[in-house]
Amino acid sequence: MVRRIGGFRRKTRYKFRKEKRARGKISLTRYFQSFKVGDKVYLAVEPSVQKGMYHPRFMGRAGIIKSRRGKCYEVSINDLGKEKTLIVHPIHLKRA
């Protein structure tokens, strides 16, 4: 089989680019935000933090918090009729 070159951040130069006003230090309130089971959230990536980042194909999706796993959350999303579970750090989540 062919060896794949690059990781899952490959070809994401413009997708993971921050707005000019959003550059600089990251918000600690967003880093330490907490959610309850059943909360609706949007997947909004924070490019400066790689920990707990999901695959770029799920960017902008809406999901529901299923449970907490360590410092991260299990988020259930609908992907073309299939239910998928992502493990996401809270800095990559926005309240819906």
Give the model confidence (pLDDT) of 49-70 as tens digits.
999 999 999 999 999 999 999 9
Any alpha helices (H) in 1-96, and if so which ranges?
28-31
Task: Count Cβ atoms below 10 Å from residue 56 Cβ, excluding itself.
Answer: 15
Ordered domains of the chain (ranges, CATH) = 35-95 (2.30.30.70)
CB 11 within 8 A of CB 56: no
- Report whether pLDDT(32) > 90: yes
pLDDT digits (tens, 9 = 90+) for 69-86: 999 999 999 999 999 999
Burial class (CB in 10 A: 0-12, 13-18, 19+), 30: middle
